[in-house]
Amino acid sequence: MNRQTLAQFDSDIFSIIEKERKRQEEGLEMIPSENFVSPAVLEALGSILTNKYSEGYVGNRYYGGCEFIDNVEQLAIDRARQLFGAEHVNVQPLSGAPANIAAYLAVLKPGDTILGMDLSHGGHLTHGSPVTHMANLFNFIRYKTNAQGVIDYDELRDMARRHKPKLVLVGYSAYSREIDYHIIKSIADETESMTMADVAHIAGLIAGGQMNNPVPLFDIVTTTTHKTLRGPRGGMIMCKEKWAKQIDKSVFPGFQGGPHEHNISAKAVAFKEALQPDFKVYAKQIMTNAKILEEELKKRDYTICFGQTDNHLLLINLANKGVTGKEAQIALDKAGITVNKNMVPDDPRSPMNPSGIRLGTPALTTRGMKEAEMRQIAAWLDTVIAHHANESVLAGVKKDIIALCQKYPLYV
């Protein structure tokens, strides 16, 4: 066995990791799907649990030597159930997209109709984008937001009546508004459809008591365990007990093999963190910070898609600023602000060079930044976008950002 440290044995990888650590420490991570995990989560993620195969489920494994693995996975399940009020939880999905796919395959047959949100209006690739394999397997009907930038529940009801979907799907990756799950449930009940919510982006805000919780209402709820939940990269499926066996069989052996128990242990740690009282304070501050950014950017004549934010993210249409999303992303990167280029509703531009950018506040809030910092960051965003081709301006902003970040160290 190689007993050298990473630095001793593989200086190439060690050096790259250290450069990435420096980038994270010295920059403003504003991609809304990114966050910083705690040292405890990192410790579990890098533990010796990575050595163990454990195909199957608690108390019913195909391999021996899983008594302690069972303890880890059961803790993760119990904590998730407590956190979200779930009847049944599967913590084995490797990420959000696999969780969604496993859920579809558990309860649907090829050709069944799913009513899901259009990608350019804030949905997710796995909600029916034509470029995905799932779009070839199921009949996705995609709904959009209306002229006011919100989901039109009356139109959604009409679409459900017309298309008779087997599954009504809600959730998003760029939509910044709250969802009325009771209305969605009533629409699904009327058309005898199942309900599924993908809360990958907002799971932490739900766990923190700041946003509506679909888990007690819906048949199936999927999520990632990173993003606002601030755990390791991974997925999870919660469902009513009536679907438990189908969900479990779909995840394993239907879709995945051996679960990654080191990752599941890190999920368990993150769930325990989310059960602490201070997590509610954190979740509330995420949303407060997002509202401050919204207010400050509106003052500077930025177009906020969907009218406003009710969560952790902002989707900004830059068409009136004379810059594309790609150009803005590149310039902001140079200045030390990480965002992602993003399509806006019915975007005339391509996904690789769209009209907008998507940004959020979870990672900034994890570092301890609050209202005053958001006001300064909004000013920097505006400066960079207005001078996106001026390298000296970008360098000056980056210097100021490094100074701010030194006041909010990460892993020290």
Q: Which residues are catalytic?
A: 53, 55, 198, 224, 227, 233
Nearest CA to 286 out of 211, 361, 218, 377 is that of 361
Nearest CA to 32 out of 128, 172, 143, 146 is that of 172
Q: What is the DSSP string of 366-409?
A: HTT--HHHHHHHHHHHHHHHHTTT-HHHHHHHHHHHHHHHTTS-
Contacts of 74 (CB under 8 A, 6+ apart): 58
Q: Which two tokens stand for residue 268?
A: 């368990």
- The number of C-alpha atoms within 13 Å of 105 and in the hemisphere containing its C-beta is 19
Q: Which two tokens stand for residue 191?
A: 């058309």
Q: Would residue 118 be called left, alpha or beta, if left means φ above 0 and alpha means ψ between -120 and 50 degrees?
A: beta
Q: What is the DSSP string of 124-149?
A: -GGGT-TTSHHHHHSEEEEE-B-TTS
In terms of Cβ atoms closer than 10 Å to its own Cβ (0-12, 13-18, 19+), residue 374 is buried
Number of other CB atoms surrounding residue 7 within 10 Å: 12
d(CA 224, CA 216): 18
Q: Which two tokens stand for residue 265?
A: 């242990």
Number of other CB atoms surrounding residue 58 within 10 Å: 15
Q: Would residue 113 be called left, alpha or beta, if left means φ above 0 and alpha means ψ between -120 and 50 degrees?
A: beta
Q: Which two tokens stand for residue 393?
A: 């301006």
Nearest CA to 107 out of 244, 252, 256 is that of 244
Contacts of 44 (CB under 8 A, 6+ apart): 232, 262, 265, 266, 268, 269
Contacts of 18 (CB under 8 A, 6+ apart): none
8 A C-beta contact, residue 331 and residue 380: no
